[in-house]
Structure 1
Amino acid sequence: MMKTRFLLAAALLLCAAFAAPARAQTAADSAGIRATALDYAEGWYTGDGARMGRSLHPRLAKRISMQRDGAWTLDEMSANELARAAGGGGGTRTPQAQRQADVQILDVFGNVASVRVTMAGWIDYMHMARVDGRWQIVNVLWELKPRG
């Protein structure tokens, strides 16, 4: 029994010694991730398509799973479509008092991050990547809030 415990402990130490070290999240990472999420959210609310656009990776996909005509479908928007919708003033119709852009960084590992942004009418789950030293949104999966 003691020998088994010793071998197990030794195996765990060896695994830990050879595992790739996780890069710690820095204050600069947190600030960059938060700024990117706010460029997205505030760009939407202010109708600033350029501001939203700078937060988006050109290959971004924003998706929602929804039921349409009794069947589940995955609707998708590209970075260009999303920036155009923001620039078209879609978010400016949300009254100032109702605008919400709560950013919660869920996880950061190296050059990737998962972020939740709670908006006035929906919640976005984002994946970000550091590209050329700058955080960009690569994927967004979102869901509408229940109407109450």
Structure 2
Amino acid sequence: MNDRTSDEQAVRATALDYFEGWYAADLARVDRALHPALVKRSAVQVGAQPPSLTTKERMLELVRAGGGVEDRTDDPIEVTVVDVHHDVAAAVVRSAQYREYLHLVRTGARWQVVNAFWQLTDPAGEPGQDDAR
């Protein structure tokens, strides 16, 4: 296995830790997947005045409270690794509820999500949905 394939697998595993950890309220998985400097926004948040963002600390609070458990389905989570370049990577994650664009950074021996931009799979379904995640 070459380094590129290994990096793509590691990026995919990080994205799955983030998503599957969210759905299972698995704090350890989400914690290791997210960089301490995480900035997460939704399309709705960007349009807000002023724009808001979600931090790693806030995401961990939501996981502790079981925030993603009610969203869990048996539908597959699809991760597409768009690019890996040295210590940065980009991936797209598609789940039943969310479409999320991730930027990841290599931190030592692992990858972590440092930027995330998301929208509900059906954005017309819930006005104000960005407050929950």
TM-score relative to the length of structure 2: 0.81
Greater strand fraction, Structure 1 or Structure 2: 1
Q: Return 5+ residue gaps in structure 1 as ranges.
A: 1-23
Structure with max Cα Rg: 1
Task: Give the equivalent residue in structure 2 for 1:145.
Answer: 121
Q: What are the equivalent positions in structure 2 for 1:81-96 lying under 5 Å apart?
A: 81-96=58-73
Q: In the alignment, does 2:84 pair up with 1:114?
A: no
Following TM superposition, the consecutive aligned residue runs of length 4 or more in structure 1 with deviations greater than 6 angstroms are none
Instruction: Give the one of 29, 46, 50 matched to 1:51.
Output: 29
Cα RMSD after superposing both structures: 2.0
Q: In the alignment, does 2:47 pair up with 1:72?
A: yes
- Give a deviation string over 1:59-88, Cα, whole Å, max 9, x none: 001111217xxx921331001111221221
Q: How many residue pairs align between the two structures?
A: 121
TM-score relative to the length of structure 1: 0.74
| Distance (Å, rounded) in 2 between the aligned partners of 1:108 and 1:142 | 20
Q: What are the equivalent positions in structure 2 for 1:21-36 lying under 5 Å apart?
A: 26-36=4-14
Instruction: Give the one of 63, 75, 85 matched to 2:41.
Output: 63
| Distance (Å, rounded) in 2 between the aligned partners of 1:110 and 1:94 | 34
Instruction: Please give the secondary structure, in 2, of the residue aligned with 1:76.
Output: coil
